[in-house]
Amino acid sequence: MESAGTEGRRTLSESETNAPESGHSVNPGASTSAFAGETAPLLRRFRTDLHVHSVLSPCAELEMGAPEIIQRASREEITLLALTDHNAVANVPALMEAAEVERERLRVSGTDDGSIPRILCGVEVQTEEDIHLVALFRSAEDGFAFQEWLWEALPSRANDPDIFGYQLIIDGKNAVLDQVATLLVQGVSRSVEEVIAEIRHRGGLSFLAHVDRPGFSYVEVLGPVPEDLAVDAVELSRRLSAEEALAWRSRLGARTILRSSDAHRLEDLRREHCMELLLAEPTFDEVALALRNEAGRRVLWPWEETPP
């Protein structure tokens, strides 16, 4: 049984994209469905981090192994996590395996309380404009097919571990299976529009990463996000204060806004760096509904309170 969420049912009638919450409530007392004749699904809050790096990212610390990420996320009560290494999905199976091992360990000891995070397959793409864009896929298979497409457009420059760091492909127990020889932290020869279209074509979701940051941000490189840009959401970095986040929200219009850790070291993988999603279960399809603000699923405004 999942114990990740703490909320009860709510109505399905709200439609506004993740507006800042008043008191962070989701009408826990409400139980009626807006859809006549249908049973309202039980929607619960899932603490979610959709932007995390592992030892495959050269800029990530070597402590970002698979069991370590799982254990840290579990301690932080993060119950849904997307692994999003730079231009690669190759460590997603390791993370899924580590989560499965940990879940089984708890199950055998009779203490599986649903605290082990579900893993989504993701990748942080660097486009030819040096914009960072996160893609999420329904399965690791879909992610690997996308990685193949991406690597065809990855310049052949070799990684120098002394300069950039190691790019390790691991299994669920951190055994090193391989190293990626080509530097992963460089722009692929595909435009941001091409990458977004390809992700969509493959049934994936996409969001612009850390648009408020000076580096690798859509806004910094190309200016305001056009209304017709076909991304599903926009991420603001965890470094923003509540006021700054609200100011950005008004600049970004009706977009769904996300906050994730972008953790490159364990210390940054923390509950207060990510967000809560209102979902029926922690799956890709439910996340897709939440990002599109459909069927009552949604992303709760991540900044809870105004700092003093």
Q: Work out how close the CB of 50 gets to Zn ion at its nearest, in angstroms, rounded to a whole number.
A: 10
Burial class (CB in 10 A: 0-12, 13-18, 19+), 100: middle
Q: Work out how close the CB of 46 gets to Zn ion at its nearest, in angstroms, rounded to a whole number.
A: 21
3-class DSSP state for residue 275? strand
Q: Work out how close the CB of 208 gets to Zn ion at its nearest, in angstroms, rounded to a whole number.
A: 10
Cβ proximity to Zn ion: between 4 and 95 the closer is: 95
Cβ proximity to Zn ion: between 9 and 238 the closer is: 238
Cβ proximity to Zn ion: between 88 and 277 the closer is: 88
Task: Please work out, in degrees rounded to the nearest 5, the angle formed at the alpha carbon of residue 108 by the alpha carbons of 140 and 91.
Answer: 20
Residues 33-72 that bind Zn ion (CB under 5 A): none
Residues 86-125 that bind Zn ion (CB under 5 A): 124
When asked if residue 142 is in the footprint of Zn ion (CB under 5 A), the reply is no
Cβ proximity to Zn ion: between 102 and 124 the closer is: 124
Q: Work out how close the CB of 238 gets to Zn ion at its nearest, in angstroms, rounded to a whole number.
A: 11
Cβ proximity to Zn ion: between 104 and 267 the closer is: 267
Q: Work out how close the CB of 77 gets to Zn ion at its nearest, in angstroms, rounded to a whole number.
A: 22
Q: Find the residue with minimal CB distance to Zn ion.
A: 132
Number of residues that bind Zn ion (CB under 5 A): 4
Cβ proximity to Zn ion: between 138 and 264 the closer is: 264
Residues 226-255 that bind Zn ion (CB under 5 A): none
When asked if residue 209 is in the footprint of Zn ion (CB under 5 A), the reply is yes
Q: Report how far residue 179's alpha carbon sits from residue 50's, in angstroms, rounded to the nearest whole number.
A: 24
Strand order in the sheet with 205-208: 257-258, 233-235, 205-208, 132-137, 118-126, 80-86, 44-52, 275-279, 298-299
Pairing of strands 80-86, 118-126: parallel
Output the six-digit token pair for 148.
């193949």
Output the six-digit token pair for 247.
């100011």
Cβ proximity to Zn ion: between 49 and 232 the closer is: 49
Out of 44, 45, 103, 132, name the contact with Zn ion by CB under 5 A.
132
Pairing of strands 168-170, 176-179: antiparallel
Q: Work out how close the CB of 212 gets to Zn ion at its nearest, in angstroms, rounded to a whole number.
A: 12
Q: Work out how close the CB of 176 gets to Zn ion at its nearest, in angstroms, rounded to a whole number.
A: 22
Q: Extract the runs of DSSP E, i.e. beta strands, from 112-217.
A: 118-126, 132-137, 168-170, 176-179, 205-208
Q: Work out how close the CB of 51 gets to Zn ion at its nearest, in angstroms, rounded to a whole number.
A: 6
Containing H/E element for 143? helix 140-151
When asked if residue 298 is in the footprint of Zn ion (CB under 5 A), the reply is no
Cβ proximity to Zn ion: between 18 and 217 the closer is: 217
HEC secondary structure over 209-271: CCCCCCCCCHHHHHCCCCCCCCCCEEECCCCCCHHHHHHHHHHHCCCCEECCCCECCHHHCCH
Out of 68, 262, 276, 286, name the contact with Zn ion by CB under 5 A.
262
When asked if residue 259 is in the footprint of Zn ion (CB under 5 A), the reply is no
Containing H/E element for 129? none
Q: Report how far residue 31's alpha carbon sits from residue 8's, in angstroms, rounded to the nearest whole number.
A: 8
Interacting residues toward Zn ion by CB under 5 A: 124, 132, 209, 262
